[in-house]
Chain A
């Protein structure tokens, strides 16, 4: 890096990169523009934690005109061979290196941007950093303007689960973009429970720790989330296993917190909430239902170890139900997810097998959701999603009772 590293900066924009030559200039430029427009005169720096790009990604950052600080870390070789769902090997360690660099810079706010998001806009800097610099928030997570059938893992599984566990209605538990206050970063860097070797757990652990330890957690409506990546996986089982596995793992570490939580409350938001987009899209519902049926046929043996007999019975009834429309009750789905969480907790089967065996059930649930919302308005879709999330809260006592 040739740009002189600054001694201090009020805002650090952290970019965790890995072969993002196609998009990283756009992201860095948007960050620079956002800082210039919304925080003129505020000293800022880019903090780059690169996972070993071979396409010259780090060299493209200087074009943004911001000073660049290199935060070095060594991603685990395993994650470079099989890159996690978010596209950055060793993201947790990259975050730690970036946070350490931000603290060195005495930054009041550290904004983390994904280097492969093509839809990043200067306003994102305003909405992520604003509540931090205004001393209102310690953590700002993202919410996106999405089509109703986008983010089905998040909407039907991760968000309702995290909401029921932590009592906060996060829209995007693995949202990628985020901003942290210096106070929170100081807290995290010395936190005894942040296990840096934990694969892919860091983002959610950070959010959970912020909630648990009483920091002000906000959410920023950022607009569309369009990714152009060569390194992210399109493999559903991998995505589901990694994200849900991260939550299940955290449930063990955060049990002191979530076991006591009842109900949920919305987060403070900045920006304008966006209703789901509802224009028609091609979704292969029948293929999902076929996958569900195949799962019922082939995975009964493993589900038998994970699910309670009544739950498994209800799943079998669903599969056998006649008619073109699959109805997947919200409470059944919540109970399935909780029983998988319990199976993970008690390690009733190899955990990777457990997580992947949820995929056909998730596809059945998704098929039912798509069918239920195909002709619905945006408001009705939101009500459907809210109903699904409430079922997780309603069924939570079942989880708590069986966890102890």
Chain B
């Protein structure tokens, strides 16, 4: 199916953090390959690999020094190919991060560009004799950067960078850059990669007098990339990272001919807010501000990722509330966000974690699970930057959580040893033995989600019960209707749902397969335990055995 991504459950994984096969303290592709069965059993469909290219790692790999290689710490190209083939053998797809907007200043293109103005690579970057051009463009990393221009003493000119000064922007007004980036994509797609998560896409083109973001020329380039990929490959996907409001992300879907998918950034903080406030309004409200997208496109939903829990897409009041609620210690804050994992954000409350996963898997879009969150891994706020949420995967209670045989001091980051989330208690091996563990619960939820295409493809209609602590919505696609009811509060709640339009239907709870009383014209009464939830399939009771008109004479 060419639109497989609409039904897929994604899994975000950092190669360095998952499994270390060669014992040097850094995860690698051989290690990841060895854990593919685990991912297959979890039920995910597509892995999203964070940047795996050669890089000075001054921005965790988002500063790429060679688009065609594999960082030596992660293995070789051959290791990557073995991993990709092994994933495909298990029916798993793989997409990888691709930074289109810029390179590392260590990239040979930039080195050639700065050392020789006559080099064809000079025009691969954006140069100026003044640092006053494009002044309307905001500075994104205000903590570290004072300008989007940096003077290069070798070239004796300023170069443009929207992110760190060691990440010069590529010049997409130069057709050779477009061609070079397309060749990069072809190289990986030829190897069998199933697509790219495209980093920082709004900034490809600069124009004087504009914010230099989301420009029509940028969209034209992205569409050109899509056109070429569609023409030369099938079943590949492009996922846009554009941390913007949904209406501003909407143009990246264009008419279904630009990106297949884009992250729904503002939903995520509102899920946390809804659970904390025990009020469905923040969640239902954001959907009223979510525009329709073309039928071949899809939102990507997530609870956590490798960055901080970004609060850019909330109001100032909401941000204060989120800090108050979820970042009691100032060290937990970073930039405009909170650098914590799912379980600590939920105070390690199993029911709340499960409830959020329930919402992640049932709201419209394709969910992304961040590695380790399926077992309720903790974080380490004392590690710098966002490293606290990038610690080694916890496989067992062995040394280094079973992640590596290296000396503990040689690990790229220490394993979590906080008493509540210690790897000796929170690990895959222990949870596999426990049928009720977070891991097995997640497996069940994913398995049930995969029983119905409605979750990935259906419409959503929110019900408005009087009890504001209950979030209830209908998902429908073709002739199938699902009902999700969730108690956002920590106390048992009653709720009456107006399901008159489905009178006669019989709700079948999808996790237990239990049949509930049929829907009548009167309000449908349910009670929900603390943070409890139901996934119902509404079966029409008047359904008679289908007749095709061939039965009487079929033999």
Interface residues of A (CB under 8 A from B): 85, 146-147, 149-154, 158, 174, 225, 227, 234-236, 239-240, 243, 281-284, 287-288, 290-291, 293, 297-298, 316-317, 319-320, 363, 366
Contacts and interface: CB of A to CB of B under 8 A. Distances in A.
Most A Cβ at <10 Å: residue of B3, B453, B478, B552? B552
A243 B547 CA distance: 20
B432 to A, nearest CB: 21
B454 to A, nearest CB: 10
A151 B555 contact: yes
A284 B554 contact: no
B316 interface: no
B549 A284 contact: yes
A239 B1 contact: no
B546 interface: yes
Contact of A282 (B478, B549, B551): B549
B451 A366 contact: no
Contacts of A239: 554-555
A225 B554 CA distance: 12
A323 to B, nearest CB: 14
B1 A284 contact: no
Contacts of B478: 290, 293
Contact of B547 (A147, A150, A152, A284): A284
B328 interface: no
Contacts of B549: 149, 281-284
B467 to A, nearest CB: 34
A283 B555 contact: no
Contacts of B550: 149-150, 152, 236, 283, 366
Chain A to chain B: the 5 pairs with minimum beta-carbon distance, closest first: A150-B553, A283-B549, A320-B1, A234-B551, A153-B554
Nearest to A363: B548
Contacts of A147: 553
Interface in B447-466: 451-453
B479 interface: yes
Interface in B517-555: 546-555
A154 B555 contact: yes
A124 B477 CA distance: 53
A46 B546 CA distance: 40
29 contacts: A85-B555, A146-B553, A149-B549, A149-B550, A150-B554, A151-B553, A151-B554, A153-B554, A154-B554, A158-B555, A234-B551, A234-B552, A235-B551, A236-B550, A236-B551, A236-B554, A239-B555, A240-B554, A243-B555, A284-B546, A284-B548, A290-B546, A291-B546, A293-B478, A316-B1, A319-B1, A320-B2, A320-B3, A366-B550
User: How big is chain B's contact interface, by range?
Assistant: 10 to 19
Task: Please report whether the interface of chain A is mostly helix, strand, loop or mixed according to DSSP.
Answer: helix
Contact of A283 (B3, B452, B453, B548): B548
Contact of B555 (A174, A293, A316, A317): A174
Given A174-B555, A320-B1, A288 B451 contact: no
Interface string B1-27: 111000000000000000000000000
Nearest to B453: A297
A287 B546 contact: yes
A217 B555 CA distance: 21
B548 A287 contact: yes
Contacts of B2: 320
B111 to A, nearest CB: 45
A317 B552 CA distance: 31
A153 B547 contact: no
Contacts of A85: 555
Nearest to A366: B550
B428 to A, nearest CB: 24
Nearest to A284: B548
B226 to A, nearest CB: 19
A363 B479 CA distance: 18
A118 to B, nearest CB: 13
B217 to A, nearest CB: 33
A383 B453 CA distance: 38
A151 B551 CA distance: 9
Contacts of A150: 550, 553-554
B554 A152 contact: yes
A234 B546 CA distance: 12
Given A234-B551, A288-B548, A320-B3, 10 more contacts: A150-B550, A154-B554, A158-B555, A236-B551, A239-B554, A283-B549, A284-B546, A290-B546, A291-B548, A317-B1
